[in-house]
Amino acid sequence: MNRVDRQACVRLDKWLRIARVFKTRTRATQACSAGRVLINGQPAKAHRRLALEDRVEVGFGDWSRVLVVKQLRDRSVPRKLVPGLYEDRSLPRPKMDRVEKILAGMETRNSGAGRPTKRDRRALARLKGKE
């Protein structure tokens, strides 16, 4: 397979990593296996070959990222060149309020605050709806 042929076909998981949709290729593969990645409306496996103008949809909970492939690359590119790999047609990411951040594990305790107290644990349980 010569260089031109290699550029004409790129694995989905590799392209998702290069386009910085996922931090690692393993995470991209796991998302494909979980059915969170669609190509042209069809569930796609990690080994699927991408073509130009393919519509890639990646689900992140209640938000979906929609990308149209503009360039096929199989090697990493500088951060400045990444937006040229795709056309982003996603809606803006919804803002999370503090309760949703806590439930998603994105809200952290201050350094040095120690273990949560019984009162803190009960408050968290109330937020989660367990009490």
Question: In the prediction, which pLDDT does 103 show?
Answer: 65
- Name residues whose C-beta falls within 8 Å of residue 84's C-beta, 6 or more positions apart in sequence: 70, 71
Percentage helix, strand, coil for the chain under 3-state DSSP, each rounded to 5: 35, 20, 45
Question: In the prediction, which pLDDT does 74 show?
Answer: 87
Burial state string for 70-92 with b = 16 or more CB within 10 A and e = fewer than 16: ebbbeeeeeeeebeebbeeeeee
List every span in the chain annotated with CATH 3.10.290.10: 3-88
Question: In the prediction, which pLDDT does 104 show?
Answer: 65
SS3 39: strand
Residue 55's identity, in one-letter code, is R
pLDDT means over runs of 10, the chain (131 residues): 59 95 94 94 94 93 90 92 94 76 65 81 78 58
CATH topology of domain 3-88: 3.10.290
